[in-house]
Structure 1
Amino acid sequence: MLLMGLMRFHLPERERVTREAIQRCYITGLDYVPTPANKSWDGEGALRIEREIDESGCLHILWDVEDHGTLLLSTASLMERLRPYLLPVELARGTLNRLRTKAALWKLAGLEIDASLAADIDQGIRSFIRAATSQDKPLLAAQRAEDAIHVALNAIEGLNQQYAHQVLDRRRQASSPLSTLLAGNLGEQIIPENLEPMFAAAFNSAAVPLNWRAIQPEPNRYDWSVADHQLKLCLRHRAKVIAGPLIRLDRQCLPDWVEQRSWEAGWFAEQIQRFVADTVKRYKGQVHLWHCSAAANLPSERLSDEQRVRIMVMALETTRRCDPRTPVIVSFDQPWGEYASQQPVALPPTHFAELLIRAELGLSGIGLELNLGYWPDGSLPRDLLEIGQLIDEWSLLGLPLIPILSIPSACEADSLASRSAASPIRSLRSDCPSMDSQKRWVELLLPMLVAKQSVQAILWNQVFDSAIHRFAHGGLFDACSKPKPSLGSVIALRRDYLP
């Protein structure tokens, strides 16, 4: 008898996935929202995934691929059944399906795919066919599927590079240079003067964090010194200013005197409103874009979905009331909604955004936190097609998008990372994140994002590893304030395409 919501997956090499990979895997349905599931190994050695809903879906699981590290790969949509699927074959099918579909769509839109890339796609298809037709020999089929996945991911990188270069060349011909903002987060420190020229060479804009916890350590005491200094730096280098987020509902951003009290709704709202109003009034006229709230979509033990929506609305309304002329954005953390795989959520990230847009509060754009390769408190690592697809889906909301990025450059202990810092995901079999892999991702990902018409700004979420920070090894300068190789890649991108 078929149980509701049951899928089973066979792995010829069970050690191919770790316990952590099983814990983090999930299934999405037609709406692409993860759903909670029970995951276990059954008596026949198959991975058993059971959900409370009865529908087909795509399995997403961390998979280590030679030359590509650990990525969250997905199957095509699979029906529920007792007979186990051969997991490597289904991951190859899903990856090739995404590649072929996107290549066909972009080709129809005018993308020129060169002969070498077309040959790579054909090779991946042939490798998959050999895998799919040899499933009576699971180990052989798995090996062939691994080859297909490797070739497909190489082709995905090549396809995105050709897309980015061709689109950017066309956009640059129409408007030279492009108007995209490329911003770096200045952090909660005063950066040394000798680093300012390199920062200014890499970025045409800067994010001034305005952390509530740092600025208002006591109810009636404000410390604006760091923010004042950072704004003077921006003025000195003629960098546009993204200020905020003003409100982020986590312990790294809430003052102790707020965190230690019971969050009685009226009192809490009053404190938020007061801080937002005081901050916006102080810096009105010096800011080009207000980032008024962040990560309110994440589940909270102390606040319901409705309360978090109300806080976002209040912060937005207060910002607009105090400074009606400057554009305002809100941002969403974990925009793929991975957290929904752990517990049911009433409002997936895009639904949160739709509520704010429909309320017609004057929202000017949406930030998407893509802290790739960090877990928890980040997003699982994905290939370029998955990231591009996310941007395309959010662009349907009709507002400009601001990807907010961080990518690790190491996975060992980081002495300056805060206690609650997000940790880089360790590779399952191959090398861990490195400075070279961070540089490679910068060179692949940033041009693709700049090429997207809906992306009007890109923010590097953590530039410096030399002060207490949120993402271990996520900066473009190391703990000794020395530039990492990826900084040179950012500078080159700006030189080639941006003002």
Structure 2
Amino acid sequence: MGQMHFHVSDAAAEFFHNCRWKDAYLCGIEGVPWQTRNMFHPTDPSASGPVSTPEDLPADFQSGDHAGGRLTLTRNVATSAKLLITCPIDGIGYRVLTTCSLRCLDTPHRLIIELARGSCYRVRTQADTWQRGGLSLNEHFDALLIEGTRHFLDALQPAAAVAAAKEAAKSGAADLVESNPQADIESAQSAIRAITILEQAAAELGELFSTQSMAFRRSREPRLSTMMAVGISPECCASRQSVGASRTNHTATPGTPAAKSGSTAMLNDALVGVDEPGSVIDSDIIHAFNAAAVRISWGDIETASGTPDFGPVSKVLDECASVGLRVIGGPVIDHREGLLPEWLTLMDNDFERLLTSMTNFVEATVNRFRGQVHLWNAASGLNVSGPMRLDDEQVMRFSIGVLQTIRRCDPTTPVIMSIEQPCGEYLARHADGISPIHFADALLRSGLGLAGIGLNFRFGYDHGETHPRSALEFAQLIDRWGTLNAPLLVQLSIPGDPGLDPAARLKTFPVSLSPETDGRADAWARQQQEFAQPLIETLLAKQIVHAVVWDGASDQAPHVMPHTGVIDASGRPRPVLSYLTKLREEMLM
């Protein structure tokens, strides 16, 4: 068993306790997390011993004079590893910080110093790599990098420690220099400042990459063929109220993508009356997207065994065809708690019967909608532990069964398989589950003609989320998945409101992506757009990303993830809708 210890000085305690340290984890060079148990050992004798969550600390502990301690992460191996921890960055919000690779030692590493070292290494090496590839840096980035590096060096050797060492050398007692409280304070302040500035440099570097890469793509492809899809749930057919009754219908103006694109040639004629009661797709949404990700899912269609109801899905697909939206159908199997048919619990101990039921449903579904779907999303989330409680062998058999059935019934339409939590955070807390990138690699090597991989990123939730990352980290992550040499479909789920969402199927709660965001809906909606924009622009800059899916059209209609819609529950467009509309007008087909 290996333990990695990190010292948290009193001077760095406030920063540490604002971090989400209970969700921190260790990973190796491949980025796959180890199952990790986290404990914080306060140095304050008034604290009640080691704790595993911040809630276990005394109420007044964080404001005390001795709020430091030692963070210990325990796993089954004693090899070197990197620490990943979500921390608040002034002016940016919560972001994952990563140390460099560290050895397991009995003596603790200095947490704040190692996080600053990781930020410095990450920004400098990526800047060098991209610059060698032709990226042009600017003076603003150079200034941030120089200043951030200077603060990191100050943290390693604070002025107070240097002065104390010189004084001790003069007196001939250099080997007796003791801990210097002033030096600890200076070191912590410099490290925190270094992290803040270097993360600003990372944001600038990510923007430089997306801007210049996009310009290069558009020099060869003025209108990007990337699919920008909106997630639509067929449940809205029965209960959706008109979200555009109070807004004026729009028509495509000459020169816009809607007017020029062959795939949307029917748009102008179809927009009349699109906001009438019974309509599924709002006209404002049509202007922002060139595709629709329609939920064609087992749990929604076959609520009673052997009696699928395809009516709501047919209505949505017909409307998508009438307004010229390409269709991504699925996930046919959504392996999340509460999204599979309830009657499957009767088959808990009968895998062969489960496989037969799945095959029958998939066959009936694909035969029904063959020709109306342009891309099949076969299944989502089979890499994580779900309600079917399958072991690794059964997961692979089930996955292959879904793919084989779709390919047999519809051999011409491309098929993808989607991965939940592509960074693998679930592996840090549970032994169950398969490494996401290894699972995808096995499917691609199966020889079943898988056309690509879907990556589902859900940022800002208390369950099943991907920890928030900068555009730089996101670009590196996409590059890592790109090593599989398969097209990628990326789905983004980001909440635009706090609290419970009564219209959402999943009752997970939104978690703020910035400590500065209060409970106001407009602040959350603005946060949604500000967090999403650099990620979307990074994805559009990557040629290996063939489709981007925004998970949610309107929060007025029934949907899956809470508060993800580009239109809120009161029918008002969120800022992200305006951004996506402009994006499509300027650069998408």
* TM-score greater than 0.5 by the shorter chain: yes
Preserved CA contact (<8 Å) 2:427 2:433: no
Measured at CA, do residues 474 and 142 of structure 1 come closer, stay the same or move farther in structure 2, by a change above 3 Å?
farther
Task: Tell me the CA shift for residue 410 of structure 1.
Answer: 2.9
Measured against aligned partners, the alpha-carbon deviations of 1:263-296 in whole angstroms (never above 9, x if no partner) come to 4111100111011111100010111100011100
Measured at CA, do residues 96 and 411 of structure 1 come closer, stay the same or move farther in structure 2, by a change above 3 Å?
farther
Cα separation, 2, equivalents of 1:89 and 1:328 = 46
State the one-letter code of the partner of 2:426.
Y
Preserved CA contact (<8 Å) 2:297 2:330: yes
Alignment of 1:272-351 (within 5 A): 272-300=358-386, 302-344=389-431, 347-351=434-438
Preserved CA contact (<8 Å) 1:299 1:305: no
Q: Provide the residue aligned with 2:197 in structure 1.
A: 151
State the one-letter code of the partner of 1:272.
M
Q: Provide the residue aligned with 2:249 in structure 1.
A: none
Preserved CA contact (<8 Å) 1:63 1:428: no
Preserved CA contact (<8 Å) 2:567 2:573: yes
Q: Provide the residue aligned with 1:186 in structure 2.
A: 232
Task: Tell me the CA shift for residue 19 of structure 1.
Answer: 9.3
**1:119 corresponds to which of 143, 151, 155:** 143
Q: Provide the residue aligned with 2:36 in structure 1.
A: 37
Cα separation, 1, equivalents of 2:349 and 2:17 = 39
Which SS does the other structure have where 2:507 is aligned? strand
Is the aligned partner of 1:198 residue 2:284?
yes
TM-score in terms of structure 2 length: 0.80
Is the aligned partner of 1:244 residue 2:290?
no
Preserved CA contact (<8 Å) 1:10 1:84: no
Is the aligned partner of 1:487 residue 2:574?
no
Q: Provide the residue aligned with 2:314 in structure 1.
A: 228
Task: Tell me the CA shift for residue 452 of structure 1.
Answer: 0.6
Identity percentage over the alignment?
Answer: 32
Q: Provide the residue aligned with 1:391 in structure 2.
A: 478
Which SS does the other structure have where 1:95 is aligned? helix
Q: Provide the residue aligned with 2:7 in structure 1.
A: 9
Alignment of 1:433-444 (within 5 A): 434-444=524-534
Which SS does the other structure have where 1:183 is aligned? strand
Cα separation, 1, equivalents of 2:512 and 2:326 = 36
Point out the more displaced range, 388-397 or 142-151: 142-151
Cα separation, 1, equivalents of 2:501 and 2:339 = 20
Cα separation, 2, equivalents of 1:129 and 1:357 = 45
Measured at CA, do residues 52 and 70 of structure 1 come closer, stay the same or move farther in structure 2, by a change above 3 Å?
same
Is the aligned partner of 1:175 residue 2:174?
no
Cα separation, 1, equivalents of 2:498 and 2:120 = 30
State the one-letter code of the partner of 2:482.
S
Which SS does the other structure have where 2:124 is aligned? helix
Q: Provide the residue aligned with 2:561 in structure 1.
A: 471
Preserved CA contact (<8 Å) 1:442 1:490: no
Measured against aligned partners, the alpha-carbon deviations of 1:427-477 in whole angstroms (never above 9, x if no partner) come to 684325711111112321111100011101101122222234332222211
Alignment of 1:360-371 (within 5 A): 360-371=447-458
Q: Provide the residue aligned with 1:410 in structure 2.
A: 497
Point out the more displaced range, 452-461 or 472-481: 472-481
CA RMSD of aligned residues (A): 2.0
Task: Tell me the CA shift for residue 43 of structure 1.
Answer: 5.8
Cα separation, 1, equivalents of 2:301 and 2:156 = 59
Measured at CA, do residues 410 and 144 of structure 1 come closer, stay the same or move farther in structure 2, by a change above 3 Å?
farther
Alignment of 1:420-439 (within 5 A): 420-426=506-512, 429-431=515-517, 434-439=524-529
Gaps of 5+ in 2: 44-68, 162-179, 243-273, 276-280
Task: Tell me the CA shift for residue 345 of structure 1.
Answer: 5.2
Task: Tell me the CA shift for residue 332 of structure 1.
Answer: 0.2
Q: Provide the residue aligned with 2:165 in structure 1.
A: none
State the one-letter code of the partner of 1:288.
H
TM-score in terms of structure 1 length: 0.94
State the one-letter code of the partner of 2:436.
P
Preserved CA contact (<8 Å) 1:243 1:287: yes
Is the aligned partner of 1:460 residue 2:458?
no
Measured against aligned partners, the alpha-carbon deviations of 1:2-39 in whole angstroms (never above 9, x if no partner) come to x8433233243434345992321101112211112332
Cα separation, 1, equivalents of 2:122 and 2:534 = 18
Preserved CA contact (<8 Å) 1:466 1:479: yes
Measured at CA, do residues 393 and 133 of structure 1 come closer, stay the same or move farther in structure 2, by a change above 3 Å?
same
Measured at CA, do residues 307 and 79 of structure 1 come closer, stay the same or move farther in structure 2, by a change above 3 Å?
same
Point out the more displaced range, 384-393 or 340-349: 340-349
Preserved CA contact (<8 Å) 1:8 1:82: no
Preserved CA contact (<8 Å) 1:378 1:422: no
Which SS does the other structure have where 1:35 is aligned? coil
Preserved CA contact (<8 Å) 1:217 1:256: yes
Preserved CA contact (<8 Å) 2:229 2:291: yes
State the one-letter code of the partner of 1:10.
V
Find the structure with the greater CA-based Rg: 2
Alignment of 1:154-165 (within 5 A): 154-165=200-211
Q: Provide the residue aligned with 2:460 in structure 1.
A: 373
Preserved CA contact (<8 Å) 2:218 2:224: yes
Is the aligned partner of 1:266 residue 2:290?
no
Cα separation, 1, equivalents of 2:184 and 2:117 = 15
Preserved CA contact (<8 Å) 1:316 1:328: yes
Measured at CA, do residues 490 and 43 of structure 1 come closer, stay the same or move farther in structure 2, by a change above 3 Å?
closer
Which SS does the other structure have where 1:199 is aligned? helix
Which SS does the other structure have where 2:572 is aligned? coil
Cα separation, 1, equivalents of 2:457 and 2:515 = 24
Which SS does the other structure have where 2:128 is aligned? helix
Cα separation, 2, equivalents of 1:314 and 1:28 = 32
Cα separation, 2, equivalents of 1:458 and 1:346 = 25
Q: Provide the residue aligned with 1:93 in structure 2.
A: 117
Task: Tell me the CA shift for residue 354 of structure 1.
Answer: 1.2
**2:185 corresponds to which of 125, 139, 144:** 139
Cα separation, 2, equivalents of 1:412 and 1:221 = 36
Measured at CA, do residues 342 and 86 of structure 1 come closer, stay the same or move farther in structure 2, by a change above 3 Å?
same
Point out the more displaced range, 158-167 or 395-404: 158-167
